[in-house]
Chain A
Amino acid sequence: MKKYLVLVLTAFMVIALSGTVWAATQDVVVTVGDINEVSVVTESIDITIVSSDATAGTATVSQSSDVLTDELKWTTNGTGKKITVAVTAAPAKYTLKVTGSNITEGAGTLATMPVSLNATAADFITSIATSAGDCDIQYTVEYDVSKGTVTAETNTVTYTITDAVQ
């Protein structure tokens, strides 16, 4: 009996001599959305072919833009992504090609270059995962004189970041 009384006494003494503790809680909730962004720096590039670009005896004339440094940029927090490229409508009298180079290390893998532009999207950069990167871009026009003259045409090139497996 004495033993129990001592235990009870001790317990109450502990309570009395220690501070009482009360608690309140708060939640912090962070939602990270899917981020898949791709953009180009230069809005418009002109490529002009003139007669002096041709070589006598050769039907094909080729002309390229300057290399546009760090032209294509992308960011994704996803995995298994790729960037495709397409043109609104494939030009009838010439071929339009794009070459990517100097890609940020670890930000993806360039497809076999150059890529011919068509209305159907073609792979441009593959194996993209949780990265931010950029690469240089150069456009090339290949024209066959047998197609006749071409008046100025505007081609809208679209880069899209998408799932590699759809």
Chain B
Amino acid sequence: MRTLVLAVLAMLIVVFFSPRASFALSISASGAWYETIDENDLTSGAGSDLQSTYESVTNATLLTISECLNSNDTWQVNVSYSSSNWPFSLSVKKSGGNYQTITTTQATFFSGSGDTSNIALQYKLEGMSIKIAPGTYSTTITYTVVDT
């Protein structure tokens, strides 16, 4: 019995002092995207539909990954959104990258290593039309960082 207890304690020590156990890894996001659609967004005034696609500024969101163990500590950022009332298609990209459609399922977005601050993200909204009823539509995008 004593041997077993010692074995468990030894394993716990290994776990907590292992480089893998980087419990301090952190991700934070700042900014948001607020878009207002009105008659100025008609493609050619009365008689025309709304433009279907809208883009945020290139730094609508700034992501920061911090508290990595060192510059070689690798991580992966996943993205998803949640909403019960979201009639649009939403995409996101890093500066210089390609848009990736966000879904309600977590999907790999990008990866990197070490502390990285102010990763600029831009959004694209598609599917706007006059068939969309007036009102406010919101969604919450979740970015998760996984220590890899």
Contacts and interface: CB of A to CB of B under 8 A. Distances in A.
Given A22-B26, A29-B32, A133-B47, A75 B42 contact: yes
28 contacts: A1-B1, A5-B8, A9-B11, A15-B15, A16-B20, A22-B144, A22-B145, A23-B27, A24-B27, A24-B28, A25-B142, A27-B141, A28-B33, A28-B35, A29-B32, A29-B137, A29-B138, A30-B34, A30-B36, A30-B125, A31-B35, A32-B135, A32-B137, A34-B134, A35-B37, A37-B42, A73-B46, A78-B134
A92 interface: no
B120 interface: no
Interface residues of B, number: 64
Contacts of B4: 2, 5
A28 B139 contact: yes
A19 B148 contact: yes
A39 B141 CA distance: 40
Contacts, number: 170
A131 B133 CA distance: 11
Contacts of B148: 19
B35 A26 contact: no
Nearest to A73: B47
B80 to A, nearest CB: 10
Interface string B9-29: 001101100101111011111
Interface string A56-96: 00000000000000100111111000000000000000000
A38 B88 CA distance: 26
B97 interface: no
A29 B88 CA distance: 11
A115 to B, nearest CB: 19
Interface residues of A, number: 43
A23 B142 contact: yes
Contacts of B46: 37-39, 73-75, 132
B57 interface: no
Interface in B110-146: 123, 125, 128, 130-146
B48 interface: yes
The 3 closest A-B pairs by CB, nearest first: A73-B47, A37-B46, A24-B29
B4 to A, nearest CB: 6
Nearest to B14: A16
A131 B130 contact: yes
Contact of B29 (A2, A26, A33, A39): A26
A13 interface: yes
Contacts of A34: 134
Contacts of A47: none
Contacts of B31: 26
